[in-house]
Structure 1
Amino acid sequence: MSRRFPPTPGARQARSSTPKPKHYGSVVSLPRALSKLGLCSRTEAAALIEAGRVTVDDRPARSLSQRVDLGRMRVALDGRAIIAERPIYLMLNKPRGLVTTRRDPQERSTVYDCLPPGLPFLSPVGRLDKASEGLLFLTNDTRWAEHLLNPVSAIPKTYHVKIDRIADTDLLVALSQPIRDGSELLGAAAVTLLRSGARSSWIEIVLTEGRNRQVRRMMAASGANVLRLVRVAVAGIPLGDLAKGMTRHLTTVEVAGTRTNEKQ
């Protein structure tokens, strides 16, 4: 029995041929193509393909590994061509307690609960774990997302971290040096003491790489427990006074400022 999958509100479909903008000329897997077009996530795309609802140049999709060129090929859902959405660049102030996924098997609240209605499918640029909060970008521009996430781009990400101890000189020096955690070396681009109390401290850490749970792992390896972790800036774009759970669109100037050395 085929899985019922209603049309995504933000994804547009038409019976005319799919437009062929230059930035969609790369050859990608079919699930990724559907994500690029703003229709759905790759997981949801796989379900549509397996249900026989997706065609490429009017022929049924062969497999999940099928490669397509969105600059040359017509991709359709239920016989209707999928039209590429305009690029959207959204900032969310993620509250603590939300998971960064569209659908959660445990039915926990997700960051998608914070998004305004009427948007196409947007992918998070990186992750913030459930206990973390702060700045999270979401976009349907996969090339831009890949640029921000590529370690070669060295995009700075700034975090404010509250720990359960006084941040003495030894701790700050340790965090400023590469820290071995298992088989990985974890490093920070900058470490600054913001303020310190009798039992806790706030530290600013700037990373230019995106290892899984890197800040928490660095703190644990240095003998500190994280009480709060807030991402306050990415690529020089600050979270500012955006309220928790609220979103805003990035400005043209902000997006342009992140594109240094982006592959064309």
Structure 2
Amino acid sequence: MSGFETPEGIRLQKVLSAAGVASRRVIEQYIVEGRIRVNGETVTELGRRVDPETDLIDVDGTAVQLDVTKRYVMLNKPTGVVSSLRDENGRPDLRVFTDDYEERLYNVGRLDAETSGLLVLTNDGDLAHVLAHPSFGVTKVYIAKVEGEVTAQTISKLTKGIDLDDGPIAADKARLLDTSRGSSLVELTLHSGRNRIVRRMLAAVGHPVTELVRRQFGPLHLGTLPVGKTRELTKIELGALLTLSRRDSGVAEAPGEQQENE
């Protein structure tokens, strides 16, 4: 970022005001109240200057994005769309949604073609890498429609753990939402990044998935966003997402490994 006021950087009030946090006067009050940290240290002086390109700032423990060129979008991905920006087999891909934005957006993690629900699109490569990496273990919540009438014993089995071909797995949470006429709705909460893990878990306990939607990704909730629609994240959502990504931004990259949650 160019245009520093001095070689030492830009006043904190100016940087946070430009980022849309609050007015400079309000930010000064935040500083007095000890509500702002720079690189983990509470700011105490009103004349504090920062480098927006390198310093990490949070207000009340929530991270702030200083780079206004970064864009963060929530998509309710329909079934039949692959989580790729160019599918080699000619199937519908994410370009139908990313072409609406000037920035070149990328998907954070993946959902398979027949799974719908919450997918994040962004041009923030650092955030995308951290949140999508299997080692990071972001919590995801899915609702699955399955064959058969699920029992309380089956729900317990999902949380206690089951053995799959690639090792044991247990849901963080599981609950039965509905069961009738030979099918059931099950909500699963997982932090695993293993391939098609929800479908494989439910098949392993005798209830193959017929429909699957991801309702939550970390602090983000799909809410009432219609299928096939996008919206930009709110400042509160973005702050929560950045805070989550900065919590463990030192995750090492595993070559060739990419998350496909469902």
Q: CA deviation at 1:116?
A: 4.8
**2:246 is the counterpart of 1:263:** no
Q: Secondary structure at the match of 1:201?
A: strand
Q: CA deviation at 1:256?
A: 1.2
Query: What one-letter code is carried by the residue in structure 1 that aligns with 2:73?
Result: L
Query: What one-letter code is carried by the residue in structure 2 that aligns with 1:141?
Result: D
In 1, distance between residues paired with 2:123 and 2:68? 8
Alignment check: 8 A CA contact 1:162 1:202 kept: yes
Partner of 2:78: 95
Deviations 1:55-75 (A, max 9, x none): xxxxxxxxxxxxxxxx9xxxx
Query: What one-letter code is carried by the residue in structure 2 that aligns with 1:146?
Result: H
In 1, distance between residues paired with 2:136 and 2:83? 23
Q: CA deviation at 1:112?
A: 2.0
In 1, distance between residues paired with 2:249 and 2:202? 34
Query: What one-letter code is carried by the residue in structure 2 that aligns with 1:99?
Result: V
Q: CA deviation at 1:178?
A: 2.1
Q: CA deviation at 1:152?
A: 5.1
User: Once superposed, what is the RMSD of the aligned Cα atoms?
Assistant: 2.1
In 2, distance between residues paired with 1:115 and 1:99? 13
Q: CA deviation at 1:114?
A: 2.5
Query: What one-letter code is carried by the residue in structure 2 that aligns with 1:131?
Result: E
In 2, distance between residues paired with 1:224 and 1:104? 30
Partner of 1:170: 153
Q: What is the count of residue pairs matched by the alignment?
A: 184
Partner of 1:206: 189
Query: What one-letter code is carried by the residue in structure 2 that aligns with 1:110?
Result: D
1:13-28 correspondence runs (5 A): none
In 2, distance between residues paired with 1:152 and 1:102? 24
In 2, distance between residues paired with 1:118 and 1:198? 44
Q: CA deviation at 1:154?
A: 3.6
Question: Which of 173, 180, 201 is the matching residue for 2:163?
Answer: 180
Query: What one-letter code is carried by the residue in structure 2 that aligns with 1:221?
Result: A
Q: Secondary structure at the match of 1:204?
A: strand
Deviations 1:138-177 (A, max 9, x none): 1111221223234554421100000011011221122112
**2:231 is the counterpart of 1:248:** yes
- The normalised TM-score by structure 2 is 0.65
Deviations 1:163-197 (A, max 9, x none): 01101122112211222211322221100111111
1:34-53 correspondence runs (5 A): none
Alignment check: 8 A CA contact 1:91 1:138 kept: yes
Identity of aligned residues (%): 34
Partner of 1:238: 221
Q: CA deviation at 1:109?
A: 0.8
In 2, distance between residues paired with 1:116 and 1:183? 37
Query: What one-letter code is carried by the residue in structure 2 that aligns with 1:148?
Result: L
Alignment check: 8 A CA contact 1:85 1:120 kept: no
Gap runs ≥5 in structure 2: 3-52, 54-66, 251-262
Gap runs ≥5 in structure 1: 1-18, 21-70, 72-83
Q: Secondary structure at the match of 1:206?
A: strand
In 2, distance between residues paired with 1:105 and 1:153? 29
